[in-house]
Amino acid sequence: MIRTIILLLLFAAELAAGEALRFQQSGFSADAPGWTAWSARAETMPRTWVEGLVSLGQPGSLAVSGDGNIGSYGGWQRVLRGVEGGAWYRLTVHYRSTGVTSENWQIQPRLDWRKANGERAGEVDYAYRSAREGEWKSVMLQTQAPEDSAAVAVQLFLAHAPQGSVWWDDIRFERVPTPAPRLVTIASVNLRPESTGSSEKSVEQFMETAERVVPSNADLVVLPEGITVVGTGKRYADVAEPVPGPTTKRLGEFARKHNTYVVAGLYEREGHVVYNTAVLLDRHGNLAGKYRKVYLPREEMEQLTPGNDYPVFQTDFGRLGIMTCYDVAYADPARGLTAGGAEIVAMPIWGGDQILAKARAIENQVYLVASGYDHPTYIMNPRGEWLAVARERGSAAVATIDLNKCLRQPNNNLGDMRNRLPRELRLDVPTEIPGTAK
């Protein structure tokens, strides 16, 4: 009787919440009122229980175990009513696990939106951004409820992890303000200097062109790969210089004058080692970061040294990643940058496959900005569509984008791929180098 009264009170609170819908729970009693175990079929039901010895905050957590069954899929869920269609909500959950080999897809905190009649509204949304907090991880998703939703099932699942167990605690679901637009104006320059004879003259042509074609309100200016070698007739080592050095100083002067960030490719010398490096200058003209090209084609490998990481840089408009030219032929540079939180990927490029560039934007749901010689100069959205293109030499592709639209990228058939792709990516399946025998 007492449990029934508690459930009725919780149900009434959810109905009354309306626009102020807010749920938070840390600590669970033996019967976990309001929570139910779920799986699509009885034979795939994992073992679920309330664990009294593992918790974050109040005593007790919601536990799920694969129980030795590779087919197990499911866990705990709770339906919250009073959702307003079109409003924005944030889910935050904490978990710790053992025996789970691939957390990104085997541990699944989800939002399953429901219509007033109980049918599914839209597609399931996955919480995927995580941060470690001691022995626990926090996972967060901020997203928009489908227009026809009236409720949501908060689902805390374990997928196909026969030796795995996960404990869930400190669960929050709340309405948040609609994100305000976060506008960024980008200019990508199309120029190929010829017969300059020196790095200084080539760089100066880029600066003169940028002065003419970049709008005064630009937040980010992207130049191509190798601006210190193109048109000079020289070898990479001949034009290599320290970073910071003369070219970053000149780029910094432009950045400071126009109060903008600048990305450009050059050749960096560190002792006897030469790198194909892309640099980032901030609005004050200071060196804010650099990326050493990881994937070098044979023609470069013979003369240059590859980099070994994919840094992501915090700017005042968002998080920026850089990849260079041949990186576009491989999946991991763009994936590594977006894993680090990049919202925009700048791509100085000599020449490369346009279809692969489109794939990198789509598969990572990221804006891609290319500035090239034998590759088009454009600004591409997460759907692989050009927002702007500079077809003529001495021109710029210019577009203003709203980075907060990256928070949700709905697909008519598959839902929001921004949060779905990271939760379904299978990096645990072993692969061999193509053409090699096992």
Residues 147, 262 within the same domain: no
193 and 136 together in one domain: no
CATH number for the domain that contains residue 360: 3.60.110.10
User: By residue range, what is the domain housing residue 275?
Assistant: 183-424
Q: At 140, which helix (H) or strand (E)?
A: strand 136-144
Do 322 and 347 contact (CB within 8 A), yes or no? yes
d(CA 149, CA 284): 47
Round to whole Å and give the CA distance between 260 and 218.
6
Residue 119 pLDDT exceeds 90: yes
> Are 210 and 167 members of one domain?
no
9 Cβ neighbours under 8 A, 6+ residues apart: none
pLDDT higher than threshold 50 for residue 7: no
pLDDT in tens, 352-373: 999 999 999 999 999 999 999 9
Q: What is the mean pLDDT of residues 38-66?
A: 95
Pairing of strands 287-292, 312-314: unpaired
* One domain for residues 189 and 172: no
pLDDT in tens, 130-173: 999 999 999 999 999 999 999 999 999 999 999 999 999 999 99
**CATH number assigned to the domain comprising residue 83:** 2.60.120.260
Judge if 256 and 297 occupy the same domain: yes
Q: Do 276 and 411 belong together in one domain? A: yes
Q: What pLDDT does 138 receive?
A: 97
Residue 18 included in any domain: yes
* Direct distance between the N- and C-terminal alpha carbons of the chain, in angstroms, rounded to an integer: 64
Instruction: Let me know whether 155 and 54 are in one domain.
Output: yes
Q: What is the pLDDT of residues 54-63, one digit of tens each?
A: 999 899 999 9
Residue 359 lies in a domain: yes
**Residue that terminates a domain, selected from 150, 176, 202:** 176
- Which whole number is the average pLDDT over 80-86? 96
Considering only residues 276 and 415, tell me which one the structure prediction assigns the higher pLDDT: 276
Looking at the fold, whether 163 and 245 belong to one and the same domain comes out as: no
Write down the residue that tokens 């309001």 correspond to.
34
**pLDDT greater than 60 at residue 207:** yes
What does the pLDDT read at residue 408? 67
Cα separations in angstroms, 303 against 236, 275, 298: 7, 9, 9
Residue 435 forms part of a structural domain:
no
Asked, for residue 437, whether it belongs to a domain, the answer is no
Average pLDDT of the residues of the chain: 92
Is residue 430 included in any domain, yes or no?
Answer: no
Domain co-membership, 169 together with 205 = no
Q: Indicate whether 265 belongs to any domain.
A: yes
Domains contained in the chain, number: 2
Boundary (domain end) residue, out of 115, 141, 176 = 176
Say which amino acid occupies 119: E
Q: 73 lies in a domain?
A: yes
Residues with Cβ within 8 Å of residue 190, at least 6 apart in sequence: 371, 372, 377, 390, 391, 392, 393, 394, 395, 396, 397
**Residue ending a domain, choose from 126, 157, 176:** 176
Rounded to an integer, the average pLDDT of 28-36 is 92
| Region 311-334 average pLDDT | 97
pLDDT at residue 325 greater than cutoff 70? yes
How deeply is 414 buried, as exposed, middle or buried, from its count of CB atoms within 10 A (0-12, 13-18, 19+)? exposed
Q: What is the pLDDT of residue 427?
A: 86
- pTM, two decimals, is 0.89
* Residue 434: predicted pLDDT: 83
- Reported as a single tens digit per residue, the pLDDT across 410-434 is 666 777 877 888 888 888 888 888 8
d(CA 407, CA 413): 18
Q: Both 153 and 197 in a single domain? A: no
Query: What pLDDT sits at residue 420?
Result: 84
pLDDT of residue 1: 38
Helix (H) or strand (E) holding 273: strand 273-281
- Judge if 172 and 190 occupy the same domain: no
pLDDT of residue 8: 38
pLDDT tens figures, 90-112: 999 999 999 999 999 999 999 99
Asked whether residue 433 is domain-assigned, the answer is no
Q: Are residues 13 and 156 in the same domain?
A: yes
> For residue 171, how many other CB atoms are within 10 A of its CB?
23
